Structure 1
Amino acid sequence: MKNIWKNALLVLSLIGLMVTVSSCGGDDGGSDPAPTSTTYATTSITYPDGETAPSVTVTMVLHSDKVTVSGVGGETLVPALEDKDYDYTAFNALWTEGSVSSSTNADNVTLVKTETSSTSRTKGTERNYTYTFKKQ
């Protein structure tokens, strides 16, 4: 009877050891994914008739918590884009139409800023500044 208990204890110990070893090694697929970002670059910048659009390539990188804009350089753009990091709320507030988020994954993104009034033009005329971005 003593051998039966000894063998049972040995078998249980081996099973416990195998469970411990199998749970400690190898990739369980539960590791955190690497941080991701999505990069877009302008394919066109369109300004209203009579205004010259700058010839720059603006790049926006969508991160989990921010939008990084680059490529503006010293150009004055409408809206007032700068080479810097924006939080999503501030970046989307620049545009009248279109928006982006950390989950944006479209091949093309179009953002439009509409100026609705000015002292130099008649009331009711709208001027659209359109930026079309392509996923890189």
Structure 2
Amino acid sequence: MNVLHYSLRGGAAFRDVDALLHGLNWAEASAAHPDVPFTLAALLWHLQVTQRVSLDLASGRAERWPDDLNLWPDEPLSEAEFTRVLRDLQAGLAEAQMLAQDPSSRARDVLTDLAVHSAYHWGQVALLRRLSGTLPGPQGNA
């Protein structure tokens, strides 16, 4: 694995995404936090949307970032939407790992941008889970 792999999925200096999400349920994901403008569910939705577009760009399925892309949900997510977001995030992380194995110059640039953007938001996920008292330990244990 290389630094790009670690920065996308976790490891080395980055918290493992699977560990961050371990045990996350709908009740926690949909709960509001004082002075925080989004729920964990909305934050994960944002991560999934930006990940999907980035992967489309990195893989060549898209040529440019969509002008009309909504980066945050307009309405609170339903439990079914939240479940879909988690599934799509995991699938996207696997695709990102494949693309990072031997990336083209374009893919490397896009994946690096995705990794930086995602690291910021994964940190927010960790903080919100810590505030809720549910942040799993490094190995996925609460």
Shorter-chain TM-score category? under 0.3
The normalised TM-score by structure 2 is: 0.23
Higher relative contact order (CA 8 A, sep 6+): 2
Query: Larger Rg: 1 or 2?
Result: 1
